[in-house]
Structure 1
């Protein structure tokens, strides 16, 4: 949906031929890639509702024996009398959201949960609500060098950021015993605007708070933390304040109800990619697979991501082989005729002591 929008076509994906941006072209390539990973869990962002219902769920059920859960973002309603004003309706769904697919021969869904609006949840947690209430145009303008919302647009962007959701599932390994280990898998897509890192910091702290609270409700008999895997497009690179707020946080206030402080680490900590998102003029690591290292969960392998220069060389070879003219390297990017998404997939293998086998 977003890739086909007028704004995306005019400003972000204008390098991609019109025929290659269509769903009919991209979806089979995406599905072929998903099949190739042979995963136990798949987390996707910016999934159109119809693509989930009519395409992905049916295909993954048939060919990979997977089931899925989906949560749509909240609808952003434009004021009919003033197109510059928008408001989020937390009771209505937008046409796209986040999905988690899981292998139903290995895992069963114990509980489907999540946050239809991440920041709506934040407004009901005292210390997070204070952060929201302290928001203003200066906060946003100072959040990122070289960008500013402008004072008149601050409320608009805060409203838009209220639409972002977090989907989570509590899963149990299928076994003959009810003592099979539990696992939390969670997935989110943070607000995208270049100046919005202060908003993303609140989203990050909110997600951390929610997952910590969820984990406390499923404390294991040996008192070890339940394993958590968080996947997401956080629209911020490692080392940023947003990344730190998500992985380490600053602790929760002493009067907060959540006592558990998970220690999150990237699955790619020992093999960090150069990028996960690449369009002309921009590339960076915006996506994460995080897990709580204070649990029994261990990351044993990740799928390496080639350097950008190597990807450019491969893309040039493919274009030449098809007899097409190769554009200037500054005009290369994702998606294109060979890579159907503007993001590169992160893939990791995990194991934990109480699970009989590794899981991807």
Structure 2
């Protein structure tokens, strides 16, 4: 590293390697003017991870009809959805029997997570199972030009793990140079009017390039089989609240119809496409569609998996993660493909070469021009 840049990156290394939250916060207070070069930080990640196998190579794929729309506003917006695996759960509760504990060491695993984000440079990042928000992701993402929000689960299972780093929850980051924040809403999802342990963050963002508004939501629904009805009720609650949040009354004083802001909903739904909550989103009056169906030959089929893990109860290969978008207001320009079984490896996820049991999803969307 050149002498002009060495101080910020040595400060980052100290921030990441500090042993207590108090030390990290104190250090960041002293270095609150640090701005990180993403290219330099990516190289630093690669240096730290040089003893590990490389992450699976993934290509950006353009859907078949991506070039058929001629009317759009501004360049694409890149959106990442990812359940990054809470550190406390990975080490203490999830039981990945084919993943060595050494592969889950936070001192290196955090660099794998950052490397994934830095490789694709998303404008919006939606994360679940974040239990190192304040000491790692918030300061680093802020130094990279992102504004972040975090909402913890009311009763996080991370708190049951000895030496945990606090509760896990959802986080939403947006690039400040691209968007300004109009509205931010934190939701605790309900089922039949009873509050549950699952949450969502909803933000209305103003695009600085187009003047368009974009509503983005991130959530993480109830896990495990046997909870399908609860997930369906949580999804219904979220959809109802999104309809209220995104509605915009018409300009005319006598106009009674309502329009809605373009909407993107990212999440680990813990539900495969056969579940009722998936059908709720697909048939919602909000006009949502699942972006990753566009990778399929017919444009109607979800990927075969977004998570693949081996636990004491057996092997689990499922599609649980989604990026939903308003199909009439947004178009999907490209998507990050899904690694093959060979790329994932026989021990599945997580592993030395991938930090989570869930794959990151990423797509570029653009605003369709309004009629």
Range with greater deviation from structure 2 (344-353 or 222-231)? 222-231
1:354, distance to aligned residue in structure 2 (A) = 5.0
Task: Please name the residue that 1:339 is paired with.
Answer: 354
Residue number in structure 1 paired with 2:100: 17
1:256-275 mapped onto 2 (5 Å cutoff): 261-271=285-295, 272-275=302-305
Residues 86-118 of structure 1 show CA distances to partners (whole Å, capped at 9, x for unaligned) of: xxxxxxxx7111001101001011111031x20
Instruction: Indicate which of 277, 284, 299 corresponds to 1:242.
Output: 277
Residue in structure 1 matched with residue 184 of structure 2 by the alignment: 112
Provide Cα deviations, 1:223-243, integer angstroms capped at 9, x if missing partner: 542100000000011232121
Deviation, structure 1 residue 306: 2.8
Which of 251, 263, 266 is the equivalent residue of 1:231? 266
Aligned to 2:152: 72
Does the CA-based 8 Å contact 1:273-1:304 persist in structure 2? Answer: no
- Report the 3-state secondary structure (helix = DSSP H, G, I; strand = E; otherwise coil) of the residue aligned with 1:31: helix
* Equivalent position SS for 1:338: coil
Residue 28 of structure 1 is matched in structure 2 by 111
* C-alpha displacement of 1:38: 1.1
Displacement of 1:16 after TM fit?
A: 1.1
3-state SS of paired residue (1:56): helix
Q: 1:169 aligns with which of 203, 210, 225?
A: 203
- Secondary structure of the corresponding residue to residue 197 of structure 2: coil
Residue deviations 1:152-201, cap 9 Å, x none?
xxxxxxxxx811101111100125xxx92111100000110211111101
**Superposed CA RMSD:** 2.3
Q: Is the 8 A contact 2:156 2:167 kept in 1?
A: no
**Displacement over 3 Å in runs of 4+:** 218-224
Q: 2:216 aligns with which of 178, 185, 188?
A: 185
SS at match of 2:154: strand
1:43 and 1:101 in contact (8 A); partners too? yes
Aligned to 2:46: none
> Gaps spanning 5+ residues in structure 2: where?
1-86, 161-165, 253-257, 296-301
Structure 1 residues 107 and 31 mapped into 2: Cα distance closer, same or farther (>3 Å)?
A: same
For the residue of structure 2 that corresponds to 1:36, the secondary structure is helix
The 1:220–1:112 alpha-carbon spacing in structure 2 relative to 1, beyond 3 Å, is farther
Work out whether residues 19 and 25 of structure 1, in 8 Å CA contact, stay in contact via their aligned partners in 2. Answer: no
Structure 1 equivalent of residue 241 of structure 2: 210
Distance of 2:339 and 2:135 partners within structure 1? 33
What is the DSSP-based 3-state SS (H/G/I as helix, E as strand, rest coil) of the residue aligned with 1:105?
coil
Number of matched pairs: 262
Tell me, in whole angstroms, the C-alpha distance in 1 between the residues paired with 2:116 and 2:240: 33
Partner of 2:339: 306
Please, what TM-score do these two structures have when normalized by structure 2? Answer: 0.66
SS at match of 1:244: helix
Q: 1:26-105 counterparts in 2 under 5 A?
A: 26-48=109-131, 51-63=132-144, 65-75=145-155, 95-105=167-177
